[in-house]
């Protein structure tokens, strides 16, 4: 495409193929803007620099095609996206990108991994998010959620919810079980997404850096529970997450997730296969393993993720983290708030799928 000519605004000579200028009300207080001559119109004699009687407007040159970079977001937008994609690939191939001490790759997460998860989040599970404004706009905070669904898709959907809906564009760093980091491929992807081991040391480091940290204290007890016990919270361990929040003075944000329990209705558990494979359980559902790989497709349930009001911890003394009674009370408070919200969301839900 030929290079466009730059016409200075103070050039009094004829201009070709110009539209009439905006009125003063549209252009603001910069002063009155005189209309420019249109194609084929004569220029007034007093405005002709050479005094000629006729100075027709010069016919315009070739115009940019519709959708080009000069005319909209068509081909130009595509070109920019292609250029950005090639630049991204170049950085990946040359190693010109950054990861933090935990292996979190912000660029890969934003541009690739979230783009892969987002269609599942928006179109398959059609997640509705509530109370995201309860998550602090800055500083460390611990988000505590229920865990369910046979496979840990609820953690990923919660991560997308924070990433896409929080007004401060915050990222959620999830604490994951040891099993996640021994599985091939899954290990690398989890690290790139910002997940780390579910241990107090890693959680405290992230909170001290001002990160949002997500934890699901039910662990395998929650994700692998039978379908008959759905939405009944399991024990929250010994309150280690509360101790971590107290040490850093970070608020605790309860989170309730409805919809994940029904994606893989677990009607049985093959303990023999679980022991052979080294898994905490081996789920039997109405479709898996009977339908083979097709049985691994989750049911398209309708999800709701609600973030509750934060529970502050910065008002306690430093030694409060070692007080077992306080940890038990705060743990029970968080658990009860999540359970109460689950019941409330279930009553409001019209259907599992709609």
Count of CB atoms situated within 10 Å of the CB of 235: 12
The kind and range of the H/E element at 107 are helix 106-108
% the chain with pLDDT above 90: 70
Q: How far apart are CA 25 and CA 31, in angstroms?
A: 10
Tens-digit pLDDT profile for residues 194-238: 999 999 999 999 999 999 999 999 999 999 999 999 999 999 988
Give me the residue label for tokens 């040159």. Answer: 61
pLDDT band at 275 (very low <50, low <70, confident <90, very high): very high
Residue 31 has pLDDT above 90, yes or no: no
Q: At what angle do helices 240-248 and 200-208 cross, to 10 degrees?
A: 30
The pLDDT score that the predictor gives to residue 21 is: 41
Report CA-CA distances (Å) from 256 to 158, 253, 308. Answer: 10, 10, 8
Q: How far apart are CA 87 and CA 83, in angstroms?
A: 6
Residue 307 has pLDDT above 90, yes or no: yes
- Within its chain, how far is the Cα of 125 from the centroid? 15
Q: What is the DSSP string of 238-299?
A: TSHHHHHHHHHT--EEEEEEESGGGSS---EE-HHHHHHHT-S--EE-SSTTTTGGGGGSPP
Q: Is 76 exposed, middle or buried (0-12, 13-18, 19+ CB in 10 A)?
A: middle
Q: How far apart are CA 312 and CA 9, in angstroms?
A: 59
Model confidence, pTM: 0.76
Residue 28 has pLDDT above 50, yes or no: no
Tens-digit pLDDT profile for residues 152-192: 999 999 999 999 999 999 999 999 999 999 999 999 999 99
Residue 143 has pLDDT above 60, yes or no: yes
The pLDDT score that the predictor gives to residue 24 is: 42
Tens-digit pLDDT profile for residues 34-83: 444 444 444 444 444 444 444 444 444 444 444 333 444 556 788 888 88
Residue predicted with more confidence, 91 or 160:
160
Residue 344 has pLDDT above 70, yes or no: yes
């Amino acid at each position: 495409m030929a290079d466009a000519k730059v016409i200075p605004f103070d050039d009094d000579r004829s201009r070709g193929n110009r539209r009439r200028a905006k009125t003063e009300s549209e252009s603001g207080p910069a002063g009155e803007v005189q209309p420019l001559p249109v194609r084929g119109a004569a220029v007034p004699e007093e405005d002709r620099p050479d005094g000629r009687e006729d100075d027709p407007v010069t016919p315009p040159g070739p115009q940019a095609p519709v959708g080009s970079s000069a005319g909209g977001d068509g081909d130009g937008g595509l070109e920019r996206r292609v250029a950005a994609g090639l630049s991204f690939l170049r950085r990946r191939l040359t190693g010109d990108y950054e990861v933090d001490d935990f292996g979190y790759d912000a660029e890969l997460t934003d541009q690739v991994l979230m783009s892969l998860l987002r269609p599942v989040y928006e179109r398959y599970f059609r997640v509705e998010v509530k109370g995201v404004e309860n998550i602090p706009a800055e500083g460390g905070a611990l988000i505590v959620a229920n865990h369910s669904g046979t496979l840990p898709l609820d953690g990923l959907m919660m991560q997308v919810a924070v990433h896409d809906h929080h007004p401060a564009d915050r990222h959620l760093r999830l604490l994951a079980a040891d099993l996640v980091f021994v599985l091939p491929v899954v290990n690398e992807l989890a690290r790139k997404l910002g997940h780390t081991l579910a241990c107090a040391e890693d959680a405290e480091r992230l909170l001290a850096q001002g990160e949002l940290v997500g934890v699901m204290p039910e662990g395998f007890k929650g994700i692998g529970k039978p379908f008959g016990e759905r939405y009944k919270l399991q024990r929250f361990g010994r309150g280690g997450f509360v101790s971590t929040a107290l040490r850093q003075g970070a608020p605790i944000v309860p989170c309730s997730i409805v919809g994940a329990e029904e994606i893989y209705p677990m009607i049985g558990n093959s303990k023999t296969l679980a022991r052979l494979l080294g898994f905490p359980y081996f789920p039997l559902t109405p479709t898996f393993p009977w339908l083979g790989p097709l049985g691994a497709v989750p049911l398209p349930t309708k999800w709701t993720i609600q973030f509750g009001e934060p529970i502050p911890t910065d008002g306690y003394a430093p030694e409060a983290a070692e007080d077992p009674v306080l940890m038990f009370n705060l743990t029970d408070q968080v658990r009860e708030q999540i359970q109460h919200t689950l019941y409330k969301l279930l009553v409001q839900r019209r259907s599992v799928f709609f």
